[in-house]
A and B are shown apart, each in its own frame.
Chain A
Amino acid sequence: MKKPDVKVVLLGDMNVGKTSLLHRYTERKFKDTISTVGGAFFLKQWGPYNISIWDTAGREQFHGLGSMYCRGASAVILTYDVTNWQSLAELEERFLSLTDTANHDCIYALVGNKADLTDLKAQLPLDLSGASPASLSGTGLHKQVPREEAMALYERILRYKGLDEKSSLPAEKMCFETSAKTGYNVDTLFETLFDLVLPSILRKRNENLVSPTVDLEEYREASARRGKTCC
């Protein structure tokens, strides 16, 4: 195993789609999942860097492990389900305190998954593959969490962390709505975060007196590939 340069953690209630999001991003597929036990560790090659990703279990049963997974994290993805208001509330009640062990300059993202169930635009994957017009019909499910709610929570998180709103990343940029099912916004989410943790990687490398042979162009390209941000 290559030594990871940086750690990203997925947190959120069970069933919101953390595993599905990661699976969509790494395997480019949406398939049946089994509720995660404990946590699963993945290593993602990002240019010359190794990014470790912890996909944690949302089940209350595993709550005790959460702070261990978060220790030294550079980015935390707080995930909820847009069709389930409680899943947003849980983030504040149950998961936020776990991030106390994260780096002090840790980046937080709020991710409302399953957008395909509520938003027409999320039913089409950005690459337009495999979506038939028929699959567009009948969303039916009521969106319980408007993006504004998530943005308000983001502001509260900054306050909780004692971070200055002006010098921090804006809520507009850090609140995503995604669909692991269609792939909507999934690459954007991960790649935005990876780009944002780059400074953290560079600083760590410098601290370790390793000359960073960085090819920054590579990242620009990678993120430009799917360069649409959420709206």
Chain B
Amino acid sequence: MDRDGHPDGEAEAEGMNICRPLKETIPSADTLATSLSLLGNHMFSYPVERDDGATSDQQEPPDSYLSHVTVHDERPDEEPDSNHRESPQTEDMDNSDCHSNDSRTADGGTKEDVVDIDQSDSGEFVVTMLAKAKLEEQGIGVKGRSSPLLEVGTEETPAFMSHRDEDVTADSWREHRKHVFVLSEAGKPIYSRYGSEEALSSTMGVMMALVSFVQSGDNIIRSVYSEGHTVVFLQKGPLVLVCVSSSRQSEEQLRGELLYVYYQIISMLTQASISRIFEHKKNYDLRRLLAGSEKILDGLLNLVDSDPSFLLAAIHCLPLASSLRDSLSQILQKAITPNLVFSILIAKNQLLTIVQEKTVIEDTRLEPADVHLLLNLIGASSAFQAGEIWTPICLPLFNPDCYFYAYISYLDPPECTVCLLLLSTDKEAFYAVAECKRKIEEAMLAQNSLSLIAKAQSYSVSQVGVSDLRHFMYKPFDVPDNHRQLTQFTSPEMEAPYSSEEEKMRLLDLYRYMHSRIHSTSRPLKLIYHVAERETLLAWVTSKFELYTCFSPLVTKACAITAITKLLRWIKKEEERLFIRYPPKYSTTPNPSKSSRGGKSDQQDSTDNGFLQFVLTRQKLKTLRLTLFQEE
């Protein structure tokens, strides 16, 4: 039952943010209404016209035109409402008829469905209607009221902050595609992507009121939908993160992005010290410690928007002849010093190779998110590239409570495209680690590595030799024999018609949409064939990989599938070049039985045993090296 002649699997119901009915009526819906209305005035004051959705060429999910508030219980989702078909799709390539059963629900009906569900619950209905009403600028007597939080906020004069002095009352501020705010549980502003936190403290206060209101009813507020906007909340320890987005991404994706923001904050302060600070003083102004880090968070959010690595939670390495990659790894492997745990080489902001300490690699592996945070830090601190940087950094997924010491230096000044990152567990190791860099530099000079690296570049999709294929992203999953491998993906350069920034973003948005469908919590799919206006996309997830492909518009499903078979064959053939196959190891622990390189053992003798301890008790490591940045 193809719609509009499109052989398309897109016709099934959307708007699936199934709300579990609230058990009790919301106590003071009034307060919430006020909060929402204030938020509404702040964030979306322009009237949004209703769109019937069904006629949309782009086939956006109809739920993005609805406004409703979703309040989730904290308990795991039970079987969702029976009005919706909820069994996970298990369509596969083998099922040639995979989409014929998709279009059971008409779009208009879907929309009504969702509204009906909302109305069936009194508490939620109130919230929904108020939100909607406010956004349509016909408030129910709440317009004249103002929250005490708001008044406190506006009285504060914005501090002098030259780069962040955007006028928060201007339309241009509201029209940003994605706002991100971080605030403390006590409602103190910590970060805002646009405009200074001070000027925004009223908005932050309103959000906090919203959060604490729903918390009081034992529900954690998770998201608010309105015409054109999704508001997503994430509470992590004493921090509350909020995203207000008109990007039409899924709630899960937005929450994932907020999690990256949280992790980046952790990477600078550690989780343990944040909890300690707020245990000590609920009212603490965390900006004292984060001041100056705004650009790092800004940079992260720009990357999140423009780099699919974050969406896929995988690393994109620079394609390189495996012989060259191996020789670079060997160079890193030979330049070691006690307590060195990771040696990472980066070119053009992409990974060239990564070498890990043996004990570390046995214990765990570096998570893609940690690598993303490192890459972002490097990008943000590269303004003054001639120097050698030595800075504490926490890898939140490795251990959220302790610091590594990162040595960052560019190997090719003044171009500064090849960057060496060495991570040590020893705060005092700067000079020893800088000496490793000197060795690496020498070896690279001898092997002419820099000019070889300079020639390396991302590839063009034309090399795949599949006509109509415009772009793809391929992410292989861990298979047993390379279990300890870094999660990676490969993707060609974005070329015409996706060369302009707008078009790149449009393609990324399509991918994000496909991704949200594939990973939908209510109805995960295995394969989606999506005919969009200007291209056709096919996303496919199996136990071995996740693949997103973009074709020219008129490609048939059969053609696309043939093309993908060819593409997979090509990737298999190029695998060695496209991925870091076996991340090498070295040993810098003073453990003679394990040390295979006799030549280095003299170096290792002088090690204090801090590192071994570090590795072995990684999980319980709350105390070791935590005292470093205590205030007292």
Contact = CB atoms under 8 A, between A and B. Distances in A.
A63 B392 CA distance: 11
B511 to A, nearest CB: 30
Contacts of A68: 427-428, 430
Interface in A78-99: none
A37 B384 CA distance: 11
Contacts of A59: 289, 291-293
A40 B268 contact: no
A32 B428 CA distance: 30
Give the one of A26, A38, A55, A68 with max B CB within 10 A. Answer: A38
B383 A61 contact: no
A64 B628 contact: yes
Contacts of A40: 384, 387-390
Given A1-B434, A34-B295, A61 B269 contact: yes
Contacts of B388: 40-42
B392 A65 contact: yes
Given A1-B434, A35-B295, A68-B428, A42 B386 contact: yes
B335 to A, nearest CB: 13
Interface in B348-402: 377, 380-381, 383-384, 386-392
Contacts of B291: 14, 35, 59-60
A19 interface: yes
Contact of B392 (A23, A38, A60): A38
Given A59-B292, A65-B427, A33 B383 contact: yes
B288 A60 contact: yes
A57 interface: yes
B629 interface: yes
B479 interface: no
Interface in A23-51: 23, 26-27, 31-42
Nearest to B288: A60
Nearest to A63: B629
Contacts of A33: 383-384
Interface string A204-216: 0000000000000
Contacts of B428: 68
B387 A61 contact: no
Interface in A57-73: 57-65, 68
Nearest to B427: A68
A39 B291 CA distance: 16
Interface in A132-161: none
Interface in B423-447: 427-428, 430, 434-435, 437-438
Given A33-B384, A37-B389, A1 B438 contact: yes
A77 to B, nearest CB: 16
Contacts of B630: 64
Interface string B290-308: 1111011000000000000
Contact of A61 (B268, B390, B437): B268
Interface residues of B, number: 34
A15 interface: yes
Contacts of A57: 292, 391
A140 B30 CA distance: 49
Nearest to B406: A38
Contacts of A31: 383
Interface in B242-291: 268-269, 288-291
A31 B386 CA distance: 14
A1 B384 contact: no
Nearest to B435: A1
A56 to B, nearest CB: 10
Given A61-B290, A64-B628, A68-B428, A38 B295 contact: no
Give the one of A39, A61, A64, A68 with max B CB within 10 A. Answer: A61
A59 B292 CA distance: 7
A225 to B, nearest CB: 22
A35 B387 contact: no
Contact of B383 (A22, A32, A41, A62): A32
A38 B292 contact: no
Contacts of B384: 19, 22-23, 33-34, 36, 40, 55
A94 to B, nearest CB: 11
Contacts of B289: 59-61
Given A40-B384, A40-B387, A62 B392 contact: yes
A26 B631 CA distance: 34
Contacts of B295: 34-35
A63 B391 CA distance: 11
Interface of B: 268-269, 288-293, 295-296, 377, 380-381, 383-384, 386-392, 406, 427-428, 430, 434-435, 437-438, 628-631
Given A19-B384, A36-B381, A62-B391, 17 more contacts: A1-B434, A1-B435, A14-B291, A14-B292, A39-B390, A40-B389, A55-B387, A57-B391, A59-B292, A61-B293, A62-B629, A63-B631, A64-B630, A65-B391, A65-B392, A65-B628, A68-B428
